[in-house]
Amino acid sequence: MTAPSPHSFSPSPLAARLARRGIHYGWVVVAVTFLTMLVTAGAVGAPGVLIGPLRAEFGWDTADISAGFAVRLVLFGLMGPFAAAFMNRFGVRRVVAVALALIGAGILGSFAMTKLWHLLLLWGVVVGFGTGLTAMVLGATVATRWFSKRRGLVLGLLTASTATGQLVFLPLLATLTEQFGWRYALSFILLVLLVAAVAVLTLMRDRPADVGQLPNGATQPTPAAVQPATFRAMMASPILALRDASGSATFWVLFGTFFVCGASTNGLVQTHFITLCGDFGIVPVMAAGMLAMIGIFDFIGTVGSGWLSDRYDSRWLLFWYYGLRGLSLLYLPFSSFSFYELSIFAVFYGLDWVATVPPTVKLVADRFGDQANLVFGWVFTGHQLGAAFAAYGAGFTRTFYETYLPAFFAAGLLCLIAALSIVLVRERRTPLSPMTA
């Protein structure tokens, strides 16, 4: 497969019609990306309703199931920097199409799984690779390529699609699982993956030049990125970016705080909240509804965070986000898990579920320049390592101590530590040597 040329598509009639109405084609790309990230996030969030049914059908314990899902989260994160390199070389459209095919193959294969290693292979490896190609790096790449202004807002929208998709799909998946079985719930995910694939193949374009436009808000063409000469050089570019970035204290602070972000969201609440509520006598559909409420308020909070990150110091935004999230997680074990108290948690926690992403991306872009999408890929790896750590750790405490509550206390304390750590990020450093953007 060779890299597409900057003008691999002829000027789009749709882009021309929209331009006459004052609408930039970048918003079409954002809409397609939003749909793609929303749908693939549903696949990422599906394990939240699968733990109970898999435990009942196959007799696997929570710790073993959580280990399989933790592998998915690790690969989801490790693919981030390489996904950025693939998008740079092969184009967003091709990479996303391949990702959707991988996710679909992993889910389809799980209809026939009977052993624990099948779960590890299909959901851990295949779905992990596929979802990793459509992780937050996709949103960061689209925002920086297609928008010169309003990047924070676009990042907020696309980040919200990821978290909202993981949560809003859950009530429907829980209802399908409860009434018809988990295989019917996965069939629904396959259907929406197909819809997303059609939208990507028909409407997605790699760069503004592909439709004869400049980035939204730009007054002159963006210089063409320098591509690695060989496939081997392309695969080495994320490693070289990590080598350069690892000498920066800023990188390690962002990596560590994003580790905490993943541990306190995807790994803990997304994966185990429904089972936690079950321990207190709350049926899965109601618990999934609470997660959906978190998703709705997350959409508001994350879009708002993108707007704020265009205007205020990202470090202080992150200080408040991590601090408030930590307090909400420490509050939950002291609640009675009534509808009223869970609703308070859902609103308060939901407002900054992933509100941390837009200011984190802006800090990476500000401090690492041309390497930003590759460096953010590694920072996002920290996010998913944290998610995997919490997914397995919470499953371990549930299996061996018969309670999830120690995991929630630990996550709350980690968030407070992250809030204090983020103030260590200093002003913009000297840009690193240019690499593929």
Which DSSP helix (H) or strand (E) runs through 323?
A: helix 314-331
Give the per-residue pLDDT at 166: 62
Give the model's confidence band at 227: pLDDT under 50 very low, under 70 low, under 90 confident, else very high. low
Give the per-residue pLDDT at 234: 75
Q: Residue 435: inside a domain, yes or no?
A: no
Q: Residue 400: inside a domain, yes or no?
A: yes
Give the model's confidence band at 220: pLDDT under 50 very low, under 70 low, under 90 confident, else very high. low
Give the per-residue pLDDT at 20: 79
Q: Residue 131: inside a domain, yes or no?
A: yes
Percent helix, percent strand, percent coil in the chain, to nearest 5: 80, 0, 20
Q: Residue 9: inside a domain, yes or no?
A: no
Give the model's confidence band at 1: pLDDT under 50 very low, under 70 low, under 90 confident, else very high. very low
CB 93 within 8 A of CB 117: no
CATH for 38: 1.20.1250.20
Give the per-residue pLDDT at 318: 93
Percent above pLDDT 70 for the chain: 89
For 250-317, give the DSSP string: HHHHHHHHHHHHHIIIIIIIIHHHHHHHHHTT--HHHHHHHHHHHHHHHHHHHHHHHHHHTTS-HHHH
Q: Residue 7: inside a domain, yes or no?
A: no
Quote the pTM value.
Answer: 0.70
Determine phi and psi for 216, rounding to 5 degrees: -60, 120
**What three-state secondary structure class fits 3?**
coil
CB 205 within 8 A of CB 25: yes
Give the model's confidence band at 198: pLDDT under 50 very low, under 70 low, under 90 confident, else very high. very high
Give the per-residue pLDDT at 102: 92
Q: Residue 162: inside a domain, yes or no?
A: yes
Q: How many domains does the chain have?
A: 1
Give the per-residue pLDDT at 301: 87
Helices (H) and strands (E) in the chain, counts: 19, 0
Q: With a cut of 90, say whether residue 257 has pLDDT above it.
A: yes
Q: With a cut of 60, say whether residue 427 has pLDDT above it.
A: no
Give the per-residue pLDDT at 3: 44
Q: With a cut of 70, say whether residue 224 has pLDDT above it.
A: no
Report d(CA 363, CA 250) in Å as an integer. 9
Q: Residue 4: inside a domain, yes or no?
A: no
Question: What is the average pLDDT value for the chain, to the nearest integer?
Answer: 81
Position 12: which residue type? S
CB 244 within 8 A of CB 433: yes
Determine phi and psi for 270, rounding to 5 degrees: -60, -40
Give the per-residue pLDDT at 340: 87
Report d(CA 375, CA 156) in Å as an integer. 19
* Residue 32 or 86, more confident: 32
Over residues 361-420, the pLDDT tens digits come to 888 877 887 677 788 888 988 888 898 888 888 888 888 888 888 889 999 999 999 999
Highest mean pLDDT among 45-49, 213-217, 334-338 belongs to 334-338
Nearest one of 117, 135, 118 to 73, comparing CA atoms: 135
Q: Residue 437: inside a domain, yes or no?
A: no
Mean pLDDT across 128-151: 81
Give the model's confidence band at 246: pLDDT under 50 very low, under 70 low, under 90 confident, else very high. confident
Mean pLDDT across 294-319: 85
Find the domain containing 82 and state its range. 17-208+231-424
Beta-carbon contacts of 111 under 8 Å, excluding residues fewer than 6 positions away, are 183, 186
Give the model's confidence band at 426: pLDDT under 50 very low, under 70 low, under 90 confident, else very high. low
Over residues 61-118, the pLDDT tens digits come to 777 787 777 777 777 777 877 887 888 888 889 999 999 999 999 889 988 888 888 8
Mean pLDDT across 243-248: 87
* Residue 303 or 3, more confident: 303
